[in-house]
A and B are shown apart, each in its own frame.
Chain A
Amino acid sequence: MQWVDTIIQGILLGGLYALYATGLSLMFGIMKLVNLAHGDLIVLAAFVIVVLASLLPPGSGVVLALLLSLPIMFGVGYGLQVGFLNRTLDRDILPPLIVTFGFSIIIQNGLLEVFSADSRRLPLTGWESASLSVASGISIGTVPLVCFASAVVVIAGLNFLIYRTAIGRAFRATSDDPETAQLMGIDHRRLFAIAAGIAMMVCAVAALYLGLRANFDPTIGPARLLYAFEAVIVGGLGSLWGTLIGGMIIGVAQTVGAQINPEWQILTGHLAFLVILVVRPRGLFPKSEG
C-alpha cells in the first residue's frame, strides 16, 4: 500500500512539473526561444499572487488572487516579448539565451530586494489543507489532486487553441516557417507576444500550486526550470501531452527515490531523466519532424 501511495503522489507531483514545463514548451515550440528565466518568472508569479492575496479581503481565497494575476502575467509576457525578446530573434541562438539568463538574475535579485530571502507560502483558506482517504494507507491531498486536474485542463485547453482556432493555425504556421507566414499577412512579432503572454498565464497557474504545495523564496526559480526542462525533454519536443507524461515520470522517480531514502528524491528524478535521454534521445513522444 505504501508503494501505491508513493506512485500516486509521484503522478500528482508530475502534474505540477507539467505546469512548470508547459509554458516553456509553448515558447520553444512557437518561437524557438529557450527561456532561461522561466523558473524565475514562475516565482515572480507566485509573489504576484501573494501580494494580490494580501490586498484582497481576508478569506476571499487564493483562487481569486490567481484569476487577478492572469492578466498581469499576460502583460508581463507580452511586454517582455515586445520590449526585449523579439529583438533577440532572427539572428542567432545565443542572444535569446543571454537575455533570458539576464532576466533570471534580474528577477531573482529584484525579488530578494523587495520581498527579502524569507521563505513564504500562500495563505490557506480551508479546502487547500483537506485530503481524501481513498483506502487504508492511501490519502490524496486536495491540492495535489486539483493541481493535476489543472494541468490536464490547461493542456487540453492549449491543444484546443493550437489545433482548432485561427490563432492556433497561425502559431503553427509561424512555427513551421516564419518568413512565409509573414508573406501570408501574419504579424509574427505580435503573435510571439501573444504566445509569451499565454505562456506566462500558465506560469501563474503553476505558481499557485507551487505556493500551495510548498514554501518558496526568490532563489528557487532555476531548480523549477530544471524540472520543466526534464519534463519537456522526456515527453518529447512538440507534444504537450508528452510533457504531462514526462512530468509524471520525473515526479514518480522522485517520490520513489524519496521513499527509499529521503535524500535521494532529487537525485532519482535526474537519474530517470538521464536514463530516458540515453534510451530515447528525442523523448518518448516526439513529433515526426526533424
Chain B
Amino acid sequence: MTAARMLSISKLGKSFGSLVVTDKLDLELGAGEALGIIGPNGAGKTTLMNLISGAIVPDTGAIRFDGRDITTDSPQRRCRAGIARTFQIPHPFGNLSVFENLLVAAAYGSGKREAEVVEACGSILDMTGLLSRANRRAETLTLLERKRLELARALATEPRLLLLDEIAGGLTEAECALLVETVRAIRTRGTAIIWIEHIVQALLAVVDRLVVLNFGRKIAEGEPRAVMSSAEVREIYLGIAA
C-alpha cells in the first residue's frame, strides 16, 4: 500500500435481488490517475459509480478514500471529502440558472462562502463553454449544454476524484474532441478521474489505465491499448470472435 493510493476498493459486492451487479470487485486508483472503465450494457458500470459516490450502499466489501473507510458515508460527506460525479442522463437543477447550479455546488461541496467561489465558478463556465449561458434557466439548455453543465457543476465542488458517466454519449465527433480537450485540462489540475464510456476512442485519448467489466466482474485491466487488443476483451466486449 503506497501513500499515493487515493481510492481503494476491496471485495465490493452488490446484488439487486438475485441479480449480482457487482461481484467481489477490487480496484485501486492513485492520486491524479485517470482510469477508464468499459463493458457491455448491464456490466455494472453505473452501479460502480453509484457505490463510489454513495447513492447506494454495498452489501459486502469496503471503499477507502485517502485511507479513510467511506463505505457507509452519506453522499454529501463523500462530496465534501472530494468525490464528485456526473450522470449519464444530466440532472440539472432546472429552476436555477446555470451559474446558480455551479454556485450552489461550489458553496456546499467545498464548504466555502459564496463570495469566495464566484470567481472559480466563472472560470469553470468559461472552460466548459457555458459562459454565454450563465444566466439561462438550466432547464432551457440543449442536451450538449446540459452535459457540459453536468461536468461544470461536478468541477465546481472542487473534486480530487471525478467520476464521469458516459459524458461523450450522443455527441458529434467534433463535440467529442472538444470534450476530450476539456477532460485533459481537468487532469492537468491534478484531479483523478474514473471515466465510464462506450466511445473507446475518447477514453484512449485520456486514460492511463483501462478496466473491462462484465457481469459485475473485472475481466481485464492494464495499459489501454494492450487491454483493447486482448482476445477476451474483443470477444466479450466487441462481440468479435477471436
A interface vs B, CB < 8 Å?
166, 169-170, 172-173, 175-177, 179-188, 287, 289
A186-B91 contact given A169-B103, A170-B104, A173-B104, CB 8 Å threshold: no
Q: Is B227 an interface residue (CB 8 A)?
A: no
**Is B95 a contact of A166 with CB atoms below 8 Å?**
no
Is B109 positioned at the interface, with any CB of A under 8 Å from its CB? Answer: yes
List chain B residues, Cβ under 8 A from A185.
Answer: 76, 79-80, 105, 108-111, 157
Complex CA gap A175/B107 in Å reads 17
B166 lies within 8 A of chain A by Cβ: no
Are the CB atoms of A169 and B95 closer together than 8 Å? no
Pairwise interchain contact B91-A180, C-beta atoms closer than 8 A: yes
Show the binding face of B for A, using Cβ within 8 Å. Answer: 53-55, 74-76, 79-80, 84-85, 87, 91, 93-96, 100-101, 103-105, 107-111, 113-114, 139, 153, 157
Our count of residue pairs bridging A and B at CB distance below 8 angstroms stands at 77
Known: A184-B153, A187-B74. 19 other contacts (CB 8 A): A166-B107, A170-B104, A170-B108, A173-B101, A179-B91, A180-B87, A181-B104, A182-B54, A182-B74, A182-B79, A183-B55, A183-B84, A184-B105, A185-B79, A185-B80, A185-B108, A185-B111, A287-B95, A289-B95
Would A182 and B100 count as touching, CB distance under 8 A? no
B185 to chain A, nearest CB (A): 22
Closest 9 CB pairs of A and B: A185-B79, A185-B109, A184-B105, A185-B108, A182-B75, A169-B104, A176-B93, A180-B91, A173-B93
Which residue on A lies nearest to B111, using beta carbons? A185
Could you say which residues of chain B place their CB within 8 Å of the CB of A188?
76
* Residues of chain B within 8 A of A184, CB atoms compared: 76, 79, 104-105, 108-109, 153, 157
A172 touches B76 (CB 8 A): no
- State which of A169, A175, A183, A186 has its C-beta within 8 Å of the C-beta of B53: A183
Q: Which of A181, A183, A187, A188 counts the most B-chain CB atoms under 10 A from its CB?
A: A183
Name the residue of chain A whose CB is nearest to the CB of B102: A184
User: In the complex, are the beta carbons of A166 and B93 less than 8 A apart?
Assistant: no
Minimum CB distance partner of B83 in chain A? A183
Instruction: Please indicate the chain B residues that have their CB under 8 angstroms from the CB of A177 in the complex.
Output: 91, 93
- Asked whether, in the complex, the Cβ of B55 is within 8 Å of the Cβ of A172, the reply is no
Closest Cβ of chain A to B80, distance in Å, is: 5
Tell me the complex Cα distance, A170–B94, Å. Answer: 13
CB contact between A173 and one of B54, B84, B85, B96 (< 8 Å): that residue: B96
Which residue on chain A has the smallest CB distance to residue B90? A180
**What are the residues of chain B within 8 A of A181 when measuring CB–CB?**
93, 104
Asked if A166 meets B113 with Cβ closer than 8 Å, knowing A184-B79, A184-B108, the reply is yes
Once bound together, how far apart are the Cα atoms of A186 and B110, in whole Å? 10
Complex CA gap A184/B74 in Å reads 11
- A174 smallest CB distance to B (angstroms): 9
B85 shortest CB reach to chain A, Å: 6
A186 partner residues in chain B, CB cutoff 8 A: 76, 104, 108
Distance between B81 CB and nearest chain A CB, rounded to angstroms: 9
Find chain A residues with CB under 8 A from B91 CB.
177, 179-180
Please indicate the chain B residues that have their CB under 8 angstroms from the CB of A169 in the complex: 96, 100, 103-104, 107
Q: Which residues of A contact B55 (CB under 8 A)?
A: 179, 183
> Can you give 29 A-B contacts (C-beta < 8 A)?
A166-B114, A169-B104, A169-B107, A170-B104, A170-B107, A172-B95, A173-B104, A175-B95, A176-B94, A179-B55, A180-B87, A180-B91, A180-B93, A181-B104, A182-B54, A183-B55, A183-B75, A183-B79, A184-B79, A184-B104, A184-B109, A184-B157, A185-B76, A185-B108, A185-B157, A186-B104, A289-B94, A289-B95, A289-B139
Q: How far is the CA of A175 from the CA of B104 in the complex (A)?
A: 13
Quick check: A176 and B95 within 8 Å, CB to CB?
yes
A173 cross-chain contacts in B, Cβ below 8 A: 93, 96, 100-101, 104
B109 partner residues in chain A, CB cutoff 8 A: 184-185
With a cutoff of 8 Å between Cβ atoms, the chain A residues found around residue B85 in the complex are 183
Q: Is the CB of A187 within 8 A of B76?
A: yes
Contacting residues, chain B, for A182 (C-beta < 8 A): 54, 74-76, 79
- Greatest chain B CB density within 10 A among A169, A172, A182, A185 is at A185
- B93, A172: Cβ atoms closer than 8 Å: yes
Q: Which residue of B lies closest to A190 (CB)?
A: B76
C-alpha spacing A182/B87, complex, angstroms: 13
Distance of A160 Cα from B74 Cα, bound (Å): 30
Nearest chain B CB to A6 CB, angstrom units = 39
A179 CB contacts on chain B under 8 angstroms: 55, 75, 91
In the assembled complex, how far is the CB of residue A167 from the closest CB belonging to chain B, in whole angstroms? 9
Q: Evaluate contact between A176 and B96: CB separation under 8 angstroms.
A: yes
B105 — which chain A residues lie within 8 A by C-beta? 184-185
- Which B-chain residue is minimally distant from A163 (CB atoms)? B100
Q: How close is A272's CB to chain B, nearest CB, in angstroms? A: 29
A177 and B149 CA atoms in complex are apart in Å by 15
Q: Count chain A CB atoms within 10 A of each CB in B54, B103, B105 and give the residue with the most.
A: B105
